């Protein structure tokens, strides 16, 4: 093992006592129509039973619109003035929200016999149209919340409704699964026209002006309609299933998108996963968004389900079938921002970047996600063809490696601008590669283990570690395994490299951990002792120690010299999936399949803290270079960032202690100055019954103590009297303090009316506690009185006898 750095050893180890969740990256979008506010600052995303309000700049969840025990939201719409949002749920309820507050203003029955599939507000936000799965369309007066129209005639689910932008026309357009576009006259409540031209579902409607309509469909065509003649003006074949068509504004400069002359141009988004610009006059595609090399093999993974123009940002928003939300610069179609709406099951996570500015996440998919923590911008990395199972980051934080079910490993590099590219790829395992580890000192090799029970060591070419040479790589370089060794009899779950790059350790389902030489992969020793399969192995950063965690719920520390078990940590009630060393090797942090994190101090074998931040298995656990932050990833689709708050809590405790000392000194001064009312109030604010009792005793010791106590108790506020009542219940349990308790109780009973006392919080439990002890004190006093009376009687009789004898002696 590497020698401990003398400078580091000179600095005392600061033990951690607690972590606090500082940020949570969780699913905020699970499908459905996304909407953007007019100013482009807020995004509204349906997510099950709620609508999440997202800050577009930071990607932060501001708040959620959700009623208690509400069923899933099936449709929602934002008013043109951005003030009101209306939702429809599976419970057939419509709700009107003031989303900025957030507050539900009104809810009413939707009258539909099946859930609402779509809805739209007219330009004045006075009329709401709802299209239902029951083939009907209903129009609502938003001010009085009653149904003004019930439009029947559609076939199947009505999935599209739009008001005509000219309010004076009072027209509504709709489409259902019969592929036709219907125009409804709201004055007569009748369908006045049927636009028949599509041969599959109509997916979007866009108005160029009052008389021109653009429609797109899954029949791979877009159609331009003249609303005066109600005939088709142009059919544009787009050769892909179109989910949305967006008209480009005529006043903008879109010359880089092939727009060379005036006229209608629109952008399509669909099954090919790219944006294309079309000229209506020529029905030709004038611009196609370039496809990165890494995306050319997975068209189904990047299909687009939505597209809309955001005027305030001059950007085009797209939503993919994988729930990724992307903002493109409208004049150039260059990517500006990308957000991941849903992460599925998260299998691994690591900090990335020189300053740990990013995290790289492996979810239950072939794509990697790299999040920039400051902005929530997400890069989607394509390359693997099956689910990514594990990842690890080199020491400098610029290169990392991944392994997947497709039996391959890939090496990735982050450029100066934060852009990540694949620079190398290796094939060789016979089954999915479930564990991977990087060299620690230099970016020289990678170790992998697989379900084929083998261990492979891969050398990293120098061309990949040089920034200048790596920048010239156009396609991934091939990697070849230097050493292959069969390591275990069952699946290998974990592999780790020692800090000096000389040793590696493996943990397997066969309940064994093994130590190997990195040079030739020769077996050096076996660690035997766990009762079930081993999930994770980790080398200590400072000692010649290996840590293992197992499905038997324990963690063990092993000596590397004699392979003996040094310590066993018990406390988890479920499998321990991941472990890391923190506090420079003095503590361990472990994660379990029960969603709990535990912090252990190695010297004392003590579990210092248990953190509950997830609802399912925690597969990912990693600490940053500064050792002041930890990231966890779970099967509940959530990624949590934990901040070390030990120093903060210590400072708070110290400040609190200093404040207590100051108050106690002040209390002592007040008692000395006989300012009893202020002393009593201060003692109550300290919330210490014994201190208040000390003040009461000090008052009672005065010549007219009973009167002073009564005057001060009466002048207390109601909340202070309630606190004193709670305190005297405690005092009354001890015979040495019962006199003070009874004195305070007498004052309260004398000066507080029964109705007033009944309003005190906790009065019932206080009376129940006071009665038995008060009766006991009364009985004790009664016995004392009887005994004193008997003694007085005896003493009186003895005195009489003495007097009689003296009289006889005199005689």
Which tens digit of pLDDT belongs to each residue from 173-199? 999 999 999 999 999 999 999 999 999
Read off the pLDDT of each residue in 519-525 and give the average, rounded to a whole number: 92
**Residue 471 confidence (pLDDT) above 70:** no
Predicted local confidence at residue 294, as pLDDT: 46
- Gap between the Cα atoms of 736 and 93, Å rounded: 64
Q: What is the spatial distance between Cα 48 and Cα 41, in angstroms, rounded to a whole number?
A: 23
Which one-letter DSSP state was computed for residue 768? H
The predicted pLDDT at position 804 comes to: 66
C-alpha to C-alpha distance for 706 and 20, rounded to whole angstroms: 50
Please report how many Cα atoms fall inside a 13 Å half-sphere around the Cα of residue 399, on the Cβ side.
25
Q: What is the secondary structure of 404-436 as a DSSP string?
A: ETTSEEEEEEE-TTS-EEEEEEEE--SS-EEEE
- In 251-334, DSSP assigns E strands to 265-270, 276-279, 284-288, 304-310, 315-320, 324-329
Distance CA 340, CA 323 (A): 7
Q: Give pLDDT, residue 548.
A: 97
User: With 90 as the cut, is the pLDDT of residue 700 above it?
Assistant: no
Q: What whole-number distance in Å separates Cα of residue 127 and Cα of residue 115?
A: 19
In this structure, what token pair is assigned to residue 204?
Answer: 């979007």
| Sheet-wide strand order for 158-163 | 158-163, 171-176, 181-185, 190-195
Share of the chain above pLDDT 90, in %: 62
Dig out the tokens for 389 from the structure: 């199972």
Side-by-side strand order, sheet with 50-55: 35-36, 42-47, 50-55, 61-65
Q: What is the pLDDT of residue 798?
A: 83
Rounded percentage of the chain residues whose pLDDT exceeds 70: 95
User: How remote is the C-alpha of 756 from its chain's centroid?
Assistant: 46
pLDDT of res. 393 = 95
Lowest mean pLDDT among 6-20, 161-175, 390-404, 571-585: 6-20
- Sheet strand arrangement including 304-310: 304-310, 315-320, 324-329, 335-340
Note the pLDDT of residue 279: 94
- For residue 811, what pLDDT is reported? 55
Whose CA is closest to 127, among 111, 106, 148?
A: 148
Amino acid 736: pLDDT: 82
The answer on pLDDT for 11 being more than 60 is no
C-alpha–C-alpha distance, residues 19 and 730, integer Å? 35
From first CA to last CA, the distance across the chain in angstroms is: 111
| Per-residue pLDDT tens over the stretch 238-256 | 999 999 999 999 888 898 9
pLDDT of residue 670: 76
Contact (Cβ atoms closer than 8 angstroms) between residue 621 and residue 578: yes
Distance CA 195, CA 218 (A): 16
Residues 6+ apart with CB under 8 A from 92: 109, 110, 112, 114, 115, 116
Q: For the segment 356-411, what is each residue's pLDDT rounded down to a tens digit?
A: 999 999 998 899 999 999 888 999 998 999 999 999 999 989 999 999 999 999 99
- How long, in residues, is the chain? 811
| Cα–Cα–Cα angle for 348, 455, 393, rounded to 5 degrees | 35
Q: What are the two backbone dihedrals, phi and then psi, of residue 724, each rounded to the nearest 5 degrees? A: -65, -40
Question: Residue 630 has which token pair?
Answer: 């930890």
Q: Is the pLDDT of residue 641 over 90?
A: yes
Which range (187-196, 500-509, 650-659) has the least confidence? 650-659
> What one-character DSSP code corresponds to residue 101?
T
Is a pLDDT exceeding 50 seen at residue 2? no
Return d(Cα 209, Cα 798) in angstroms, integer: 122
| Pairing, β 181-185 against β 171-176 | antiparallel
Segment 424-449 shows an average pLDDT of 93
Give the model confidence (pLDDT) of 38-80 as tens digits. Answer: 999 999 999 989 999 999 998 889 999 987 767 899 999 999 9
Angle between helices 646-672 and 689-700 (to 10 degrees): 10
Residues 527 and 514 sit within 8 Å (Cβ to Cβ): yes
Mean pLDDT of the chain: 89
Residue with the larger pLDDT of the pair 1 and 202:
202
Q: Calculate helix-pair angle for 676-685, 705-714, nearest 10 degrees.
A: 60
Mean pLDDT score, 408-422: 89
pLDDT for 6 equals 44
The per-residue DSSP string of 606-637 comes to EEEEEEE--SS-EEEEEE-TTSSEEEEEETTS
582 vs 769: which has the higher pLDDT? 582
pLDDT at 299 over 80: no
Q: Are strands 212-217 and 202-209 parallel, antiparallel or unpaired?
A: antiparallel
Q: Report whether 391 contacts 436 (CB < 8 A).
A: yes
Poorest-pLDDT segment among 54-68, 166-180, 504-518, 560-574: 54-68
787 versus 291: which is more confidently predicted? 787
CA distance 193 to 85: 30
The structure tokens 């994988």 sit at 322
Q: Are strands 231-237 and 242-247 parallel, antiparallel or unpaired?
A: unpaired
Dist CA 692 CA 231 (whole Å): 89
Q: Is the pLDDT of residue 273 over 60?
A: yes
Given a cut of 50, whether residue 3 has pLDDT beyond it is: no
For residue 624, CA distances in Å to 395, 444, 581, 643, 704 come to 11, 21, 11, 10, 66
Residue corresponding to tokens 């923190």: 582
Residue 525 in this model has a pLDDT that exceeds 90: yes
Task: Give the distance from CA 707 to its chain's centroid.
Answer: 59
SS3 469: helix
C-alpha torsion angle, residues 484, 489, 491, 493 (rounded to 10): -80
* Model pLDDT, residue 768: 83
Which of 111-115, 431-435, 756-760 has the lowest average pLDDT?
756-760
* H or E stretch at 707: helix 705-714
What is the dihedral angle through the alpha carbons of 564, 570, 576, 580, rounded to the nearest 10 degrees?
-70
Residue 217 CB neighbours (<10 A): 24
Q: CA-CA distance, 600 to 581, in Å (whole number)? A: 10
Give the pLDDT score at 652.
Answer: 87
Answer yes or no: is pLDDT of 688 > 90. no
**Whether the Cβ atoms of residue 630 and residue 13 lie closer than 8 Å to each other:** no
Q: What is the pLDDT of residue 497?
A: 96
Three-state secondary-structure class, residue 338 = strand
The 10 Å Cβ neighbour count of residue 389 is 23
CB 588 within 8 A of CB 580: yes
Q: Residue 578, Cα to own-chain centre: how many angstroms?
A: 20
What is the pLDDT averaged over residues 323-339?
Answer: 92
Using pLDDT thresholds of 50, 70 and 90, give the confidence band for residue 283.
Answer: very high
| Full 3-state SS string of 391-410 | EEECCCCCEEEEEECCCEEE
- How much is the pLDDT for 241? 94
pLDDT-derived band of residue 470, with 50, 70 and 90 as boundaries? Answer: low
């Amino acid at each position: 093992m590497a020698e401990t750095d003398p400078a580091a050893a000179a600095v005392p180890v600061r033990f951690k006592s607690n972590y606090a969740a500082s940020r949570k990256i969780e699913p905020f979008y699970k499908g459905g129509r996304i909407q953007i506010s007019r100013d482009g600052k807020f995004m509204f995303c349906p997510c099950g039973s709620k609508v999440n309000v997202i800050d577009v700049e930071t990607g932060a969840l501001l708040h959620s619109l959700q009623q208690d025990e509400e069923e899933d939201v099936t449709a929602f719409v934002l008013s043109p003035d951005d003030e009101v949002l209306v939702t429809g749920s599976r419970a057939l309820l419509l709700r009107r929200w003031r989303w900025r507050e957030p507050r539900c203003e009104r809810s009413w029955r939707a009258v539909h016999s099946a859930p609402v599939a779509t809805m739209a507000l007219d330009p004045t936000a006075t009329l709401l149209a709802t299209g239902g799965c029951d083939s009907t369309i209903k129009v609502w007066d938003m001010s009085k919340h009653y149904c003004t129209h019930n439009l029947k005639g559609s076939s199947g689910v009505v999935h599209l409704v739009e008001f005509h932008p000219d309010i004076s026309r009072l027209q509504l357009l709709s489409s259902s699964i019969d592929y036709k576009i219907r125009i409804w006259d709201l004055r007569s409540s009748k369908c006045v026209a049927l636009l028949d031209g599509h041969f599959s579902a109509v997916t979007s409607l866009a108005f160029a002006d009052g008389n021109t309509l653009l429609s797109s469909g899954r029949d791979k065509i877009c159609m331009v309609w003249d609303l005066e003649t109600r005939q088709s003006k142009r059919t544009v074949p787009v050769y892909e299933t179109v989910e949305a068509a967006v008209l480009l504004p005529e006043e903008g400069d879109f010359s880089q998108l092939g727009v060379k002359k005036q006229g209608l141009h629109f952008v399509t988004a669909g099954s090919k996963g790219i944006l294309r610009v079309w000229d209506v006059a020529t029905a030709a595609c004038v611009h196609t968004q370039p496809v990165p090399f890494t995306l050319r093999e997975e068209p189904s993974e990047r299909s687009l389900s939505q597209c809309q123009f955001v005027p305030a940002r001059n950007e085009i928003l797209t939503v993919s079938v994988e729930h990724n939300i992307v903002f493109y610069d409208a004049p150039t179609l260059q990517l500006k921002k990308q957000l991941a709406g849903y992460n599925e099951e998260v299998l691994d996570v690591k900090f990335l970047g020189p300053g740990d500015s990013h995290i790289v996440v492996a979810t239950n998919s072939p794509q990697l996600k790299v999040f920039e923590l400051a902005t929530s911008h997400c890069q989607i990395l394509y390359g693997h063809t099956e689910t990514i199972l594990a990842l690890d980051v080199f020491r400098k934080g610029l290169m990392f490696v991944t392994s997947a079910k497709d039996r391959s490993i890939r090496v990735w590099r982050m450029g100066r601008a934060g852009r990540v590219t694949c620079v190398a790829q290796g094939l060789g395992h016979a089954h999915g590669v479930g564990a991977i580890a990087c060299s620690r000192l230099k970016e020289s090799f990678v170790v992998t283990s697989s379900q084929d029970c083998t261990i492979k060591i891969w050398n990293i070419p120098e061309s990949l570690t040089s920034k200048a040479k790596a920048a010239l790589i156009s396609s991934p370089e091939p990697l070849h395994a230097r050493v292959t060794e069969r390591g275990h009899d069952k699946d290998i779950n974990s592999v780790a490299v020692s800090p000096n790059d000389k040793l590696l350790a493996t943990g397997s389902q066969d309940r064994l951990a093994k130590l190997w030489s990195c040079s030739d992969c020769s077996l050096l020793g076996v660690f035997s002792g766990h009762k079930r399969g081993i999930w994770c192995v980790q080398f200590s950063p400072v000692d010649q120690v290996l840590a293992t965690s197992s499905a038997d719920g324990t963690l063990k520390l092993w000596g590397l010299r004699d392979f003996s078990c040094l310590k066993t940590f018990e406390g988890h009630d479920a499998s321990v999936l991941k472990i890391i060393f923190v506090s420079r090797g003095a503590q361990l942090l472990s994660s379990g399949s029960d969603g709990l994190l535990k912090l252990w101090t190695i010297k004392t074998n003590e579990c210092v803290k248990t953190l509950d931040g997830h609802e399912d298995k925690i597969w990912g656990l990693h600490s940053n270079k500064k050792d002041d932050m930890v990231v966890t990833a779970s099967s509940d689709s959530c990624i949590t960032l934990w901040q070390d708050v030990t120093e903060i809590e210590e400072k708070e405790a110290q400040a609190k202690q200093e404040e207590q000392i100051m108050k106690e000194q002040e209390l002592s001064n007040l008692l000395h100055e006989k300012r009893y009312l202020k002393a009593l109030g201060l003692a109550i604010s300290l919330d210490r019954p014994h201190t208040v009792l000390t003040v009461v005793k000090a008052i009672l010791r005065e010549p007219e103590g009973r009167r002073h106590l009564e005057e001060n108790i009466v002048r207390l506020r109601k909340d202070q009297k309630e606190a004193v009542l709670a305190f005297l219940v405690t005092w009354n349990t001890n015979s040495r303090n019962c006199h003070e308790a009874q004195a305070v109780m007498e004052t309260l009973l004398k000066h507080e009316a029964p109705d007033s006392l009944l309003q005190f919080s906790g009065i019932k439990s206080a009376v129940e506690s006071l009665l038995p002890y008060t009766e006991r004190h009364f009985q004790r006093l009664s016995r004392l009185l009887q005994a004193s009376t008997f003694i007085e009687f005896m003493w009186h009789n003895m005195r009489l006898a003495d007097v009689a004898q003296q009289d006889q002696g005199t005689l």
